[in-house]
Amino acid sequence: MSYKVDEIIKEHLSNWRQYPEIVKGFEFLHADAENTLKQQMELVLVEAPTFEEEERAQVFAQMLKEAGLDNVIIDEDGNTFGILKGKGEGPTILLEAHLDTVFPKGTVKEIVHKDGRIYCPGINDDTRGLANVLAILRAIKHAQIETTGDIIFLGTVEEEGIGGFGGMKKFLAKHQEVDGSISIDGAGLNGIVYEATGIRTIAVTFKGIGGHAMGAFGHVANPLHAAARAVAKIADIEVPADPRTTYAVSNFHAGNDTGVHAIVKDATIKINFRSNGQKELEELEAKIIAAIEEACQEETERWGKDTITYELIDYVDNRAGTQDKNAPIVQAAFHLIESLGFEPRLAQGGSTNASIPVTLGIPGVTLGRGGSEGGVHTVNEWFDPTDAHKGLQVIYLLLLHLAGVENKITSILII
């Protein structure tokens, strides 16, 4: 992809090396690598499945305090944050990673070191992100950098799965002072997520009367058959390739082993569908709902006795959103990665916490955790910390160029 950063932004981003305290913070992130890793390993042992983040929130809050924030709050949603006050009138910037992991409690047993890798479920996603938030705070404190705007250091709840970025949503609804946002999530340091893929997850339960497989046959319609009809119709829906639009029936539940000779009373399917375009997402939703309604009607008419109805539960409802790929925050992230010697990569679409600011029109990106990693969302998850501080340095510099540094660097959001 050809991508050009404006000269004015390039020039603005080239000045930081002349300020000793900014260089000091930059170098601190390298020197602090062992501490960062130590906190990452402490945090990973505190399990935090989505909706059960309390214990990890407590530990993270304590770490924020130790890193130098005296106003740390765990709010009513569980979001855990502290604010580093700016010295001037600059934009308020959010730096966040998510507290929750995809693993149920009891999954994490121990940390295994093997061949330079650290194995543990959740070691990267997003435990490393949390450790990075803490390290960047320490770097700014250590170098006594005075930012112009406030910086909020945040661990969010409910990012994964049916959490659906709920923590980030709730936080931004309550903190309308946020002018820019960096989320830390994802592998390596090359990727820049600046768009928001729209995501819907719904559960649909088809309902009927039920009865004996032979005795009730012909007298009642079969909700499981209705669900199957719906799935077959959904399977045939055509979607555009661009903007990328996808769907999957991801769950099908009906009946049980003692009821193998029964017509069930209800059958539930779950459907996850996504699009990088909001219009396409809404069109797809209309088609899915039409498929469900037709399926109910067909199964009802097949027998002409009782009526199959359905009930819909919303799990995730995140709008799609686009941010100009030439927005200053995107250009700055791109240039910083490139100027530190790496190859930046703009992601197409994205399902990260940055989706929330982006759909609200707030400049926002998600940047990677640094280092290298694999097996994310599996029990074989591993992290290799080699040169991981370089990812931190990118985020640190972007953060300072968003918040501004008093009398030294003007925020790129207002140049």
* Interacting residue ranges for Zn ion, rule: CB under 5 A: 125-126, 185
Q: Which is nearer to Zn ion, 88 or 188 (CB)?
A: 188
- Residue 377 CA to residue 392 CA, distance in Å, equals 22
Q: Which is nearer to Zn ion, 126 or 266 (CB)?
A: 126
Q: Which is nearer to Zn ion, 185 or 280 (CB)?
A: 185
CB of 101 vs Zn ion, minimal distance in Å: 8
CB of 102 vs Zn ion, minimal distance in Å: 8
Q: Which is nearer to Zn ion, 121 or 149 (CB)?
A: 121
CB of 166 vs Zn ion, minimal distance in Å: 14
Q: Inter-axis angle of helices 127-142 and 20-31, to 10 degrees?
A: 140
104 touches 51 (CB < 8 A): no
Beta pairing, strands 92-98 & 151-156: parallel
Q: Which is nearer to Zn ion, 82 or 129 (CB)?
A: 129
Task: Map 35-84 to HEC letters.
Answer: HHHHHHHHHHCCCCECCCCHHHHHHHHHHHHHCCCCCCEECCCCCEEEEE
Which of 288, 302, 308, 296 lies closest to 229 in space, CA to CA? 296
383 touches 229 (CB < 8 A): no
CA distances from 218 to 225, 256, 285, 305 (A): 13, 22, 33, 8
CB of 175 vs Zn ion, minimal distance in Å: 21
Q: Which is nearer to Zn ion, 184 or 399 (CB)?
A: 184
Show the tokens assigned to 327: 């927005």
CB of 182 vs Zn ion, minimal distance in Å: 14
CB of 373 vs Zn ion, minimal distance in Å: 11
- Residue 233 CA to residue 201 CA, distance in Å, equals 18
Beta pairing, strands 178-184 & 364-367: parallel
CB of 142 vs Zn ion, minimal distance in Å: 27
Q: Which is nearer to Zn ion, 201 or 268 (CB)?
A: 201
